[in-house]
Amino acid sequence: MDFKSLFKLRGELSKSQSLILGLVGLVLLVVVWWIMAEAFSIKRPIVDGYNTELPSSLDRSPENLARIDSIVRADSIAMDNATEFETVYPLLPRPDKVVQSFSPLISKDGLWRNTWKSIWLNLQGYLWAILISIPLGFIIGLYPMFRGLFSLQVQGMRYLPLTALIGTFIIWFGIYDQMKVAFLAFGIIVYLLPVVAQRVKEVDDVYTKTVFTLGASNWQMIKSVYIPSVMSKVMDDIRVLTAISWTYIIIAELINKSDGIGGLIWTKERLGQIDRVFAILLVIIVIGFIQDRIFVFLDKRLIPYKQNPALVPGIKESQYGIYTILFFLFLTVLLGAIFNLSAISWGFILPVILISALVIIFFGEWKIFKSKTAHA
């Protein structure tokens, strides 16, 4: 390994260097985490018959206060005379304790059920935000009248303290899933809508002048210039909003903490089960990483000219499958909002359609792989 190249300004890493440095960084993170956990650990005496529950302090009668005092005194004497101690981690759990906590999270706390609930809420919020932000962003960015009417309001939305609006959303939508989806969608819209309008403005004039010279109509210009140019950049912006979306969905789930990852985190924090809290946070990180990879895949397949100007065999098949899945996801969200229908209402139809779309995508990917290996 050439160590000088590692310190070159804006230098590139080879695949082997990226793999080795990534593994070293992961090991360093675990080691530092472990050391800090041990540094913040405390020794707790092991006492037989230690009473962790005291009588209610709301009862201020002399008999109850005397009972509390006697229990505390007895426990204090027992702890002072303890000869055995155990190490506990009240602030930062060890990595191995976090891994071990997955078993009770899955078996007792319904981790996968709560995770799926949060993913579905997150997905609904994303879809609503995209449905609203992209058309409105194009209208504001393309037409001067709408830009003059609404650009100031759209830019001002960025400075809204969204967490302060939770009470307003509860008044409007209640405390159930509808409020959580609306809050998340609004949280994404306030960032995505100004970005889409700005991306329209950033389209290079050379492209618009070229198609105008060729006699293109306004719709042809929008279809062949603005939509491809804007969407190629908006996909990257949507990827950035993934982290923000999980922040907002956790905040929203703290209201009516019946299910979802946010409610589960709050419950575990109140119980002092900090190891399970960290385990749930790791799940969120993994989900965010998977979402990011999905957006990268969609960017490559739906906007292929960003990486390769030539149309590779198999791209069309992959696009058909992706568009089918996106269409039925949007349809499910719309029907759920209008007619209060859930994905379960589709019966076996929706799974069959999704499986068929995935088969088409895999077929397209196989053709792309064969094309690349043939030209390698």
DSSP per-residue codes, 42-94: EEEE--TT----PPPTT---HHHHHHHHHHHHHHHHHHHT---EEEE-SSS--
What pTM was estimated for this model as a whole? Answer: 0.81
Task: Give me the pLDDT at residue 236, please.
Answer: 86
From residue 29, how far is each of 15, 22, 32, 152, 243 by CA, in Å? 21, 11, 5, 44, 21
User: 20 or 339: whose pLDDT is higher?
Assistant: 20
| pLDDT computed for residue 309 by the predictor | 62
Rounded-to-integer distance, Cα 226 and Cα 197, Å = 11
Residue-by-residue DSSP string for 255-312 = SSTTSSHHHHHHHHHHTT-HHHHHHHHHHHHHHHHHHHHHHHHHHHHHSGGGT-SS--
φ, ψ dihedrals at 253, nearest 5°: -75, -10
pLDDT at 150 over 90: no
Supply the CATH classification number for the domain 106-309. Answer: 1.10.3720.10
Cα separation, 68 vs 76, whole angstroms? 12
Q: What is the pLDDT of residues 75-111, one digit of tens each?
A: 676 666 666 777 888 889 999 999 999 999 999 888 9
Question: Does the pLDDT of residue 169 top 70, yes or no?
Answer: yes
273-99-262-176 Cα dihedral, nearest 10 degrees = -110
- Mean pLDDT for the stretch of residues 158-178: 86
Rounded to an integer, the average pLDDT of 180-208 is 89
Output the pLDDT for position 1. Answer: 55
The one-character DSSP state at 8 is S
**Contacting residues for 62 by C-beta, under 8 A, at least 6 apart:** none
Non-local (6+) Cβ contacts of 211 within 8 A are 220, 221, 224, 225
Convert the pLDDT of each residue in 208-262 to its tens digit.
888 888 888 888 888 888 888 898 888 888 888 887 888 888 888 888 777 888 8
Query: pLDDT tens-digit profile of 266-318?
Result: 888 888 889 999 999 999 999 989 988 998 898 888 888 777 666 778 888 89
Spatial CB neighbours of 18, under 8 Å, sequence gap ≥ 6: none
Q: pLDDT tens across 5-36, in order?
A: 777 777 888 888 888 888 999 999 999 999 99
- Tell me what the pLDDT averaged over the chain comes to: 84
Query: What's the pLDDT at 80?
Result: 67
